[in-house]
Structure 1
């Protein structure tokens, strides 16, 4: 179906839904690289105007990737909840934006609506929203998940402690973990990106994390961010796997390039649930995404990068994950050129994921060849926290020496928690007070001294040796 609109003396025509969505997207380098972006600001406004008049029901009748050729499309449509959708089924995209910003769209009604929304509906409305709108609506969404603690509660802010090391050195990783814990980081997960995907090496890291958590009775979960096939093999070998990690994308072809499909993710979820390692809940999956991943795999089907990113959230919610985060600036300036594009993309991703019912975090980051700096990341960090984001990364010094990119530091997370009065997950916060790291007001009290529980562990080599 083509779409026509006249603005002033000029008429515009958009060949189909995916073209309309692409032309309506705020400018970003990835869409220009793919040849999908609007040719001018005027064409972008025309597309946004036409999109605002499009009924939400249309998204159930026209697909950006055909049902017959893509399992993500089939999943989205086959799992659509018509009863939940009924509340907004009479609206067009513009009216839907107005409703989302109204007081009628409160936390309860947004949670009830989530199963009735498709990713394309959510992507569409985000394209006609200001940054202020994205923050205001996402703030009203509360998505709570549990494994060994409770993540996503309103008024709380969590962090992934990311102790990566370029050679997977256990002493270096353990030092980073202690450093992070002393800054109250790690309630979302202690998660390592391994330098090697060798199952023996990954198994060794899983053992290190498990021993650390068990020894100090930390109410958190661990994850080594290896491929899901390796995690499946390790679970079969009896490794202490808490969370199953996988990078995912919004098309079957892109996921195929990652070496995954829906069936494999389901198998891994079942295996992790069978281990029964959670204490307060059973959300066992951890997904990462990022605008540009489908385009970089030449698997975007002519769909703009923000819409196909949102389709990845449609896949993620099938598995009730504990954590989902967009690694917003990691792929590079080819996809998000500068700080302005990165900030907008991070807030769009959070908004879209939360509307679809996901516990959204953000790796607030950039590569060194992007037109961005730490001031841009401070802007996104503050806006993301104001929008009710679930978690961010905690990286030593904000500089990941293994992945070679810039992210948020333990200090950054502590600063925004103090600024906005956002304590960590309740169970983790209690542990921080018990160990003498934080007081009941959320202030660090350990100073330059290790809490008694860590005194012995500072001799890093004993981890794994001292029984």
Structure 2
């Protein structure tokens, strides 16, 4: 077959494919996913998808600076991306096409040093574009090359380490239930990324109560980790004003102004929260104070995607995240449901894309390897994604009792899953946390934990009450 190309036009044999805009090329070059089909932006056939990928591969990276997918005047995230683009960092790759960029990323001579040098010159759209013409193994290999290190009370993102968020959610925010989950997770060496609770009741008073609970455990037992209540950012700002022990500020974010408006935030609100958290100066080894969560499909569900495909919208959210130097960024990959990622195959691909794009852009990417109960996926699919992300040196994963979040009603990774990944790849928790585990008498390296009477003490009464209640 022979093809010719003009701007976004390919003739393949006797058939002509004409794409109207860069956004259409990007959308139709995306691997198949239900969210793009729902939005009406996906390729109509496998052939059209391949043609769009061929068009995309031949486009110069500069086109993404010349043709914003969402107009500059209509969207503050576009303005953020354009205004903060580092032209000097872009120089070394400015001559490349998207296809050339893929080849450059995969070269053995392109190391973490070269990647860090050009990082600020890569826009989210460039990262999304190159990911669309990469195989899964490409996404894994390049993501592993990227090194992103952040610090608060410990160091996250070092090579040879895998951290976990200990997620002790409870459907009624029962202190006994939360305490039991904290105890269980710590015994399995979980919790070095963060002790992070999604409150069942999203109020300032409840958030402060949970903040104090986790802070008491961390401070009394000198655990080198940080806590976070995943309440709305405005609640956290108010909690800081009340003198609550806030370590990390949480917020869900999206890749368009309209999406973030749906979350009740904008860049000014996030800046206010960032400055407030920095003023507390609670970190001991660093001061990365933000925790963001994202997920493909959020822009479409908020009707804020502007005709842009869901994976590109997701990558644009990473521009928001990197403005605020976060400790953690978590793509909650299968949480929204099969309307956006239909089955295990789509969830796995999306998780690898998000992790690759985030790390390429300089973010400490973790992944909530998860699915909802009505998705066409199961725990074996999650095992596969967990293994692939561990090979790619994902910064952190989730740790939930039995892999079943009984408050949010979705399936994710368990405390045991972290032990599997660490044992399989020879990974350790964050070094400061690892030292603490050994000192306290917990040894997760061989998959076994030794109960420390000292650590068990604060949980003894809650556990006793739970046993009596049952």
Aligned match of 2:461: 459
Q: RMSD value over aligned CA atoms?
A: 1.3
Establish whether residue 278 from structure 1 lines up as the match of residue 283 from structure 2: yes
Structure 2: tracts of 5 or more residues without a match: 1-5, 466-470
Q: How far off is 1:111 after superposition?
A: 1.1
Distance in 1 of aligned mates of 2:146 and 2:349: 19
* CA shift digits 1:47-88 (9 cap, x unpaired): 000000000011000011000010000000100001111010
How do residues 273-422 of structure 1 correspond to structure 2 at under 5 angstroms?
273-422=278-427
CA contact (8 A) 1:353 1:360 kept: yes
CA distance in 2, matches of 1:415, 1:31: 34
DSSP 3-state at the match of 2:459: coil
Q: Which residue of 2 aligns with 1:438?
A: 443
Q: For the Cα contact (< 8 Å) 2:366–2:397, is it kept in 1? A: yes
Contact preservation (8 Å) 1:437, 1:444: no
Contact 2:203 2:231 in 1 (8 A): no
For residue 105 of structure 1, report the CA deviation from its aligned partner. 1.5
What is the aligned counterpart of 2:257 among 232, 244, 252? 252
Following superposition, the deviation at residue 462 of structure 1 comes to 11
- Please state how far the C-alpha of 1:7 moved relative to its aligned partner: 2.0
Which of 157, 167, 179 does residue 152 from structure 1 map onto? 157
Displacement after TM superposition at 1:113 (Å): 1.1
Secondary structure at the residue paired with 2:11? strand
The answer as to whether partners of 1:159 and 1:392 remain within 8 angstroms in 2 is yes
Q: Deviations over 1:237-283 (max 9, x none)?
A: 00000000000000001100110000110110000000000000000
Q: Deviations over 1:80-119 (max 9, x none)?
A: 0011110100000000000000022101111111100000
Deviations 1:294-328 (A, max 9, x none): 00010000000000100000111000000001000
SS state of the match for residue 460, structure 2?
Answer: coil
1:110 counterpart (86, 110, 115): 115
Shift of 1:458: 1.8
What are the within-5 Å matches in structure 2 for residues 86-235 of structure 1?
A: 86-235=91-240
- Unaligned segments of structure 1, at least 5 residues: none
Q: 1:445 to 1:52 in 2, by over 3 A?
A: closer
Give, in whole Å, the separation in 1 of the partners of 2:281 and 2:464: 28
Match of 2:431 among 399, 423, 426: 426
Q: Distance in 2 between matches of 1:96 and 1:176?
A: 45
Structure 2 CA distance for aligned equivalents of residues 171 and 336 of structure 1: 35
**How many residues are aligned here?**
460
1:23–1:36 Cα contact (<8 Å) kept:
yes
Match of 2:331, SS state, is strand
Q: Is the 8 A contact 1:435 1:451 kept in 2?
A: no
CA distance in 2, matches of 1:332, 1:451: 42
Aligned counterparts of 1:69 and 1:423: Cα–Cα separation in 2: 45
Secondary structure, in 3 states, of the residue corresponding to 1:194?
coil
